[in-house]
Amino acid sequence: MDREMLDFSGTEKIRAGQELPVDALSAWLVDNVTGFCGPLYMEQFKGGQSNPTYKLVTPGKSYVLRRKPRGTLLKGAHAVEREYRVTLALSEAGFPVASPLALCADEAVIGSAFFIMDLVPGRIFWDSTFPALQPFQRRGYFDQLNATLARLHSLNPGALGLADYGKQTDYLKRQIARWSTQYQNDDLAGRNVDMDRLVEWLPQHVPPGDECRIVHGDYRADNLVFDANGPRVLAVLDWELSTLGHPLADFTYHLMMYRLPPSIIGGFAGADLVALGIPTEEEYVRAYCQRTGRTGIAQLNFYMAFNMFRFAAILHGIRGRIARGTASSAHAQSMAANVAPLAAMAWQQTTSRSEYA
């Protein structure tokens, strides 16, 4: 197992300051989760950067708990209630998610809102090159990554009861405004010259046209659970940033793996794709377009700049949580260190002319 896998995969002892009240939680679970029966033992997942995530173990079954972090939170952030709602709708539609079991909005139980979902056993790959696989196996996993996101973008939000899950127009403009505001308002996290440039550039270059689908918001290989025996997606995890929005923004966020360096989670820029058995960026784009009825993606440079900016803003928020003492992961510092290089890469995209149309 490589260093990244050791740092982020699996569970560990609950970190200091993030303990849960066992008795109060157990009593709530007995009343609200069908079939729950203690005694209850808890661990914390290593990889959670935003919403602390716990493994709940009982003699008969294991569960997952996601909660809001303690402390002062930015408006609209850490909305576990939204995660519960969207995963419930997707589960009922047959889309692969960890089935949500119960939502608790009463902060008196553990100190914040939280929800309970099934623990999905399987395989999570923290490195998007799937290093544990052979070259001949990787194409199948990439095909499933691609197909699962295309399937999400084919769903009709209204048919799932999610017509009001977000605003249905101007997603890109609103996202640029949202992340610009969160970046600018988080004084404790500091400022960055490339982020400041992007705050000005992005609103002036939004592509024409608009679309509305359910978007995941953080679709990466490490947010998927695969079948332990092959390239089948069992569950897409971490829906905190999901909303209604432009599917191309969601897809190109995922596509950043081709352009981000290995030092940033999900990236493999510079890798020998042929030797690894990974499809080229152009092949990957073509497969998604074929699945979603598109002829191509014009103005790809804008989408890449937008998504790198958005990702940098998310990491900038982690830097702010470190300063406020509310960062939920022991590895938050290493994540926050990527703000400056990611913002620089985002600005470089503004002069790129790569597109597939």
Do residues 258 and 284 lie in contact, with contact meaning Cβ atoms separated by under 8 Å?
A: yes
Classified by CATH at the fold level, domain 135-349 comes out as Aminoglycoside 3'-phosphotransferase; Chain: A, domain 2 (3.90.1200)
Residue 355's pLDDT is 65
Which CA distances in Å does 225 have to 53, 151, 216, 235?
Answer: 16, 16, 15, 5
Cβ within 8 Å of residue 317, ≥6 positions away: 74, 77, 182, 186, 189
Q: Tokens standing for 139?
A: 């194409």
pLDDT at 2 over 50: no
Q: What would the mean pLDDT of 247-271 be, rounded to a whole number?
A: 94
Question: What pLDDT digit, counting tens, does each position of 178-216 carry?
Answer: 999 999 998 888 899 999 999 999 999 999 989 999 999
Classified by CATH at the fold level, domain 3-118 comes out as Phosphorylase Kinase; domain 1 (3.30.200)
Cβ within 8 Å of residue 309, ≥6 positions away: 176, 179, 195, 198, 202, 343, 346
Beta bridge partners of 244: 214
Q: Tokens standing for 168?
A: 């249905």
Q: What would the mean pLDDT of 164-176 be, rounded to a whole number?
A: 96
Q: Tokens standing for 167?
A: 């605003």
Rounded CA separation 162/82 (Å): 11
This prediction's pTM: 0.89
Q: Tokens standing for 97?
A: 């998610």
Do residues 256 and 211 lie in contact, with contact meaning Cβ atoms separated by under 8 Å?
A: no
* Longest Cα–Cα distance in the chain: 59
Do residues 294 and 300 lie in contact, with contact meaning Cβ atoms separated by under 8 Å?
A: no
pLDDT at 328 over 70: no
pLDDT at 23 over 60: yes
pLDDT at 164 over 50: yes
Q: Tokens standing for 64?
A: 């997952």
Give the residue from 258, 242, 171, 159 showing the smallest Cα distance to 207. Answer: 171
Q: What would the mean pLDDT of 70-85 be, rounded to a whole number?
A: 70
pLDDT at 242 over 90: yes
Structural domain boundaries of the chain? 3-118, 135-349
Rounded CA separation 27/32 (Å): 9
